[in-house]
């Protein structure tokens, strides 16, 4: 395990899946606690694919029918390819290239034909922990190259609960009490198999998070998109680099996300069903964590009207995201 430190904060990183196994940050009283779902040992990660804290690739999110052009990737989410196929980057052991107290660089090679994708892809990921203007900052820098035209879309799939207490169900509070701001004027509604439709305004919908909203207030409002997905599992089309702000009013922990990616997938943990034990043997249920995943838009390889997801020989894919933790 790799341990990165910045002040009292720590990130524990596993080479398996380039996974953030734990993320410990202080609350407004200086008490440090873990705020991400995961497992206590490797057996938990190997037993079931849960995406807890993992790096997702080659292509994060869904590709309709697993098909684009002449390429057919295996379907592993109904008819679609999800998160790079059944054996994506989250199921691989990444090579550790460089480690210090504050940063770690990991890399992976994905060969031609991997999960049906064409071309050899070399990807590199650097995590860095720092203190900036009283904020604890966890930075994720990704880059990739390929020797054939192929889609690449990497993201971090952390399941966050800023309240902590992940090992004590009696004290763990629901993320439905968190306040969320997403700086996006538009989002992508989805069809019955979660493939995006047309870009749609958030105005007048429960997808309008341009001002802080308590998540639980609208998630069961009966909006057809929330009924279809059993909650939020949608891409938000970002207005700028400041993507989101998540706040737990009880602990005072605040997380801001700054990214160079055009989309943010907000997933409200709809399929956490209490059947998979996590840390301390606690089996998370819906409401125990949520995901905010900076990335390209889903199904981009099939949508010329979406941001270009194709990486071509001679080009370099880059993705930089900062997770900034403060208190109020």
| Token code pair at residue 17 | 């899946």
**Alpha helix segments (H runs only) across 114-248:** 224-229
Cβ atoms of 239 and 186 closer than 8 Å = no
Does 103 participate in catalysis according to the annotation? no
Cβ atoms of 160 and 173 closer than 8 Å = no
Does 186 participate in catalysis according to the annotation? no
Q: Out of 234, 293, 319, 322, which one is annotated catalytic?
A: 293
**Alpha helix segments (H runs only) across 270-321:** none
| Cα 45 from Cα 22, distance rounded (Å) | 13
DSSP state of 244: E
Centroid of chain to Cα 274: 20
| Cα 176 from Cα 157, distance rounded (Å) | 19
Q: Out of 12, 39, 83, 157, which one is annotated catalytic?
A: 157
DSSP state of 200: E
Dihedral sign for Cα atoms in the order 15, 114, 270, 284: negative
Task: List the catalytic residues.
Answer: 157, 293
């Amino acid at each position: 395990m790799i341990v990165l430190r910045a002040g009292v904060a720590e990130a524990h990183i596993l080479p398996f899946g380039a996974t953030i196994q734990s993320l410990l940050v202080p609350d407004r009283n200086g008490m440090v606690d873990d705020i991400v779902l995961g497992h206590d040992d490797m057996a938990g990660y190997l037993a079931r694919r849960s995406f807890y804290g993992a790096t997702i690739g080659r292509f994060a999110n869904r590709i309709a029918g697993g098909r684009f052009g002449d390429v057919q990737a295996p379907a592993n989410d109904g008819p679609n390819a999800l998160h790079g196929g059944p054996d994506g980057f989250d199921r691989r052991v990444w090579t550790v290239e460089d480690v210090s107290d504050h940063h770690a660089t990991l890399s992976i090679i994905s060969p031609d034909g991997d999960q049906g994708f064409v071309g050899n892809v070399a990807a590199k990921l650097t995590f860095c922990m720092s203190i900036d203007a009283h904020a604890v900052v966890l930075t994720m820098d990704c880059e990739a190259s390929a020797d054939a035209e192929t889609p690449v879309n990497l993201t971090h799939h952390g399941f966050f609960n800023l309240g902590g207490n992940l090992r004590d169900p009696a004290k763990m509070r629901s993320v439905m009490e968190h306040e969320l701001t997403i700086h996006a004027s538009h989002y992508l509604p989805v069809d019955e198999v979660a493939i995006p439709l047309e870009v749609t305004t958030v105005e007048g919908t429960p997808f309008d998070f341009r001002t802080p909203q308590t998540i639980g207030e609208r998630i069961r409002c009966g909006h057809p998109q929330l009924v279809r997905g059993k909650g939020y599992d949608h891409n938000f089309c970002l207005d700028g680099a400041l993507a989101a702000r998540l706040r737990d009013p009880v602990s005072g922990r605040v997380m801001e996300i700054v990214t160079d990616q055009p989309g943010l997938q907000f997933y409200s943990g709809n399929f956490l069903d209490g059947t998979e034990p996590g840390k301390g043997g606690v089996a998370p249920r819906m409401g125990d964590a949520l995901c905010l995943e900076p990335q390209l838009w889903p199904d981009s390889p099939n949508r010329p009207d979406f941001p270009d997801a194709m990486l071509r020989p001679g080009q370099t894919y880059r993705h930089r995201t900062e997770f900034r933790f403060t208190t109020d």
